[in-house]
Amino acid sequence: MADQATLAKARLVEIELSDKEADSRETNPDATVKVQFNPETLKIVYSNTMQGGDQSGGGAIQFVSRSTTKLSVELWFDAALDGVQDVRRRTRMVAHFITPVRKGRGMAPPAVRFTWGSFLFEGVMDSMDESLELFSADGRPLRAKVTIGITSQRIQFHEPPAPSSGGSLPGTTPRQQARGGESLQQMMGRDSGRGTGAPGWQAVATANGIENPRRLPAGTFVDLSPSTGVRQ
The most confident of the ranges 67-76, 152-161, 175-184, 218-227 is 67-76
**87 CB-contact burial (10 Å; exposed 0-12 / middle 13-18 / buried 19+):** buried
pLDDT, position 52: 67
**Higher pLDDT residue, 174 or 95?**
95
Residue 4 pLDDT grade (very low, low, confident, very high; cuts 50, 70, 90): very low
Instruction: Give the whole-angstrom CA distance, residue 170 versus residue 40.
Output: 10
Question: Would you call 81 exposed, middle or buried from its count of C-beta atoms within 10 A (0-12, 13-18, 19+)?
Answer: middle
pLDDT in tens, 26-77: 989 999 999 998 998 999 999 888 776 655 655 666 777 778 899 999 999 9
Q: What is the pTM of this model?
A: 0.63
Q: What would the mean pLDDT of 206-220 be, rounded to a whole number?
A: 77
More confident residue, 177 or 81: 81
Cβ-Cβ contacts under 8 Å for 100 (sequence gap 6 or more): 107, 108, 109
Cβ-proximal residues to 114 (8 Å cutoff; 6+ apart), any chain: 10, 11, 12, 71, 73, 120, 121, 122, 150
- pLDDT given for residue 114 in this prediction: 94
Question: Distance between CA 221 and CA 208 in Å, rounded?
Answer: 9
Residue 58's pLDDT is what? 56
List strand residue ranges (DSSP E) for 79-213, in order.
101-103, 106-108, 111-116, 119-135, 141-152, 176-177
Q: Per-residue pLDDT tens for 84-128?
A: 899 999 999 999 999 998 887 889 999 999 998 888 999 999 999
**What type of residue sits at position 40?**
E
Residue range 137-162, pLDDT digits in tens? 999 999 999 999 999 988 877 555 45
Return the pLDDT at 100.
93
| Alpha-carbon span 146 to 135, nearest angstrom | 16
Asked whether 15 and 25 are in contact (CB, 8 A), the reply is yes
Taken in order 88, 92, 98, 104, the sign of the CA dihedral is positive
pLDDT at position 140, please? Answer: 93
Task: Enumerate the β-bridge partners of residue 143.
Answer: 78, 133
Q: How far is CA 64 from the centre of its chain?
A: 31
The domain limits of the chain are 11-56+63-152, 176-222
β-strands 111-116, 63-78 pairing: unpaired
How far is C-alpha 216 from the geometric centre of its chain's CA atoms?
21
Contact of 17 with 25, CB cutoff 8 Å: no
The larger pLDDT score, comparing residue 166 to residue 208, is at 208
Counts of helices then strands in the chain (DSSP H, E) = 4, 12
pLDDT band at 183 (very low <50, low <70, confident <90, very high): confident
Identify the band that residue 225 occupies on the pLDDT scale cut at 50, 70 and 90.
confident
Domain 11-56+63-152 has CATH 2.40.30: yes
